[in-house]
Structure 1
Amino acid sequence: MNRHQFLAGLHEAVRPRTYLETGVQTGQSLQLSRVPSIGIDPAFTINREIQADVHLARTTSDEFFAREDPLAHLPIPIVDLAFIDGMHLAEYALRDFIAVERFTTPASVMLFDDTLPLNVLMANRKRESGSWTGDVYKATQALRDLRPDLVVIDLDTALTGTTLVLCPDASRGGALEGYDDWVESAITPDPQPVPEAILGRTNALDPERVLASAGWRNLVELRSAGRADAAAIRAGFSDVLG
């Protein structure tokens, strides 16, 4: 299963009311949405049909989220499903998460792309290979280290892996304690020190198994009833989290 197949499965499982992505490129992922959407990319070149009410922002995500009302296009100021696939550098990916989290509920779902490089060259901060993940894997590890309240799940999707993040907390207001210290230690010269667990996908789960979890039905029911909270959502995924 590749990233777009998994994302298509998420759209079906999450039944989002709204969708946002950073890194539109040709629209291959944006075309999966059927709900009010926002796509952010300073250089998108869409070459396929989009079947959603979408606001395309030809700008950087930093600039977009600095606007007074960045989600003005959406019918509700909430992002139910987000796909983070912008600049392949750890600090950019993490800032995208922090920015989107301000507009979430505990039932919102975020997916990072390109988090499991196949080799060290692919993980370089400077692109030197055809398939390029950059060091985005550091951003998802930062969430594990700095935000233990989140559910962070690596997925063995082809070709370069994805990472699912559940139970965001908008009350943090776009702040991540320890971010500055993390940036200082995380930004290192190439080649990047990619952990063997990342290269070997030691902890990555089968994406089909994750999509089959009973947790999605629980998440949708809790959101619909207005009773979504992190503990209840986390409990719903006990079949994959153990």
Structure 2
Amino acid sequence: MRRIRLRPVLGALRTLGYAAGLPALALLAWALATDRSASLYFPPPATIADAFVETWFGPAFTEDVLPSLGRFAAGVLLSMVIGIVAGTAIGTTRWLRDLLEPMLEFFRAVPPVVLVPVLMLMLGVGDTMRIAVIVSGCVWPVLLNTVEGVRGVDTVLTETSRSYRVRGGLSLRYVVLPAASPQIMAGIRLCLSIGLILMVISEMFASSSGLGYRIVYFQRSFMIAQMWSGIVLLGLVGVAVAGLYGIAERRVLHWYHGMREVARG
């Protein structure tokens, strides 16, 4: 019994060791490499840690970090709603898919960064423009994965639902979307990573607040330790977003992971 109870604890410790081992080695290597270095551009980790506390544990958190996270959340949520709704409509309608597929491929190939000047002219330089930049890049992985997921629903499921007269909204809710949810969640994972990148890029243009603006300000002012602290903060935000996504994915796709574990035996 004790061995059985210890297995989850040992498994959690092993996972924690794998997760923290490489960052710890990287920090150790950075500290050893910069121990006697006089380079302004690569300060030691201790200096970056001091700058991190001084910079972000204060007014900058509410003036820069929270607005950035708010724009990121708004852009990602809009992308998810637009991508899932439009992708479901396109994936379930053959003629609409044939009509829109060339145009979708064209706009998907356009880098969102080149749209920043256009969006600035159309929407100004406020939060609406920055959210639009995030949406312009984040919507595509969700939309295209939703289209492919809806198209790839097993015909046995669709025929069975028709036999039981499960159609329309009921079919979408209980058959199509659950079957397509693994691909939809994969698109959302890509959406989150792209959203963080575009959040920073959108704040580097004609902005006076946000993480992207602050990092560029530090770089132009030769505040190198503070610049590195902003990069570290972005990395920590990415880790937190990935962790929250993992929790949500486990809840949404619990049936899918259960099926995979059963298949593995």
- Using the size of structure 2 for normalisation, the TM-score is 0.20
> Which is greater in Rg?
2
- Using the size of structure 1 for normalisation, the TM-score is 0.22
More helix by share: 2
Tell which has more relative contact order, 1 or 2 (C-alpha 8 A, sep 6+): 2
